[in-house]
Structures are given as structure tokens and as C-alpha cells.
Amino acid sequence: MPLLTILDETSNGSILHRLELEISQEMLSVRELIARRVQDEVATYNERQGGMFQGLVQPTESERELNGYRLRPHQRIDAEQQVYRALEAFQQNGFFVLVNDRQVESLDDEVWLGDGATASFLKLTPLVGG
């Protein structure tokens, strides 16, 4: 099964977080890619049951910290709700997705995720005072 490398990057190219995701299909829609990524990071957090959540979007009832989000001890994250929040954030330009260095525009775009593929998520931060 091919491994997809997923990078969370800043606009200047600094890598904030890196993860690898097993993908059984070579072609996926951007919607499916985001959902798989979010479901994987939520499952990883819920198995650990605590610590810092380093996810694509901030869970409800969490506090933002320097390198992620802190939840109450032993609080589980709802994967379905996180997927919904992530898809909504993509549609509202909360982050951009580049697959194999090409920006995708729509959740319905089909992308190739075969061996050696990369997906970069560029989170946007609001300007202070604007």
C-alpha cells in the first residue's frame, strides 16, 4: 500500500508537522483526502487519550497552544465533527491544499496519490488588525 506524505507548512515553506498516511487508492477526491487525514489524526489522538492534539483544525472546546490544541484530560474528539469542520475550513479558504506541488481548487477535484506523492496543507493566519 502506498504511503502518502502529508506536510503542514507555512506560506514561506517551513514544515510545522509531517505525517504519513497509507492510501489504498491512487486516485481520491480532495474531500476524501481531507477526511482520511482528519480521521487518522483523530484516531491517533483518541488512542493516546491525552496530550497535545496536532490536527488540521481546532476541535470544539479546546485551547490553542503553541504547537497544537489542548483538550480536557481524557476528552475524546468526534472524528465526524472534525471532518465537517475541516471541509468547511477548506471551502472558506482557511487553508490551501497542494498535491504534488499543484494547488487544488475544489473538494471534488480528483488527485493522484500514488507512490511518492505528497500533499501539503498551508494554513492561513489572519493578519493582526485586519
Q: How many CB atoms are located within 10 Å of the residue 2 CB? A: 14
User: What would the pLDDT profile of 11-37 be if each residue is shown by its tens digit?
Assistant: 787 888 898 988 888 899 999 999 999
CA separation for the pair 22, 36 (Å, rounded): 10
User: What would the pLDDT profile of 71-108 be if each residue is shown by its tens digit?
Assistant: 556 678 889 999 999 999 999 999 999 999 999 999 99
**Nearest residue to 96 via CA among 10, 5, 4:** 10
- Higher-pLDDT residue of 49 and 121 is 121
Q: What is the pLDDT of residue 64?
A: 47
Q: What is the DSSP string of 8-61?
A: EE-TTS-EEEEEEEE-S-SEEEHHHHHHHHHHHHHHHHHHHTSSEE--SSPPTT
pTM reported for the whole predicted model? 0.84
At residue 130, the 3 state secondary structure works out as coil
DSSP-assigned beta bridge partners for residue 15: 9
CA atoms within 13 A on the CB side of 77: 34
For residues 47-56, give the mean pLDDT.
76
Please state, for a pLDDT cut of 70, what percent of the chain lies above it. 82
CA separation for the pair 7, 105 (Å, rounded): 18
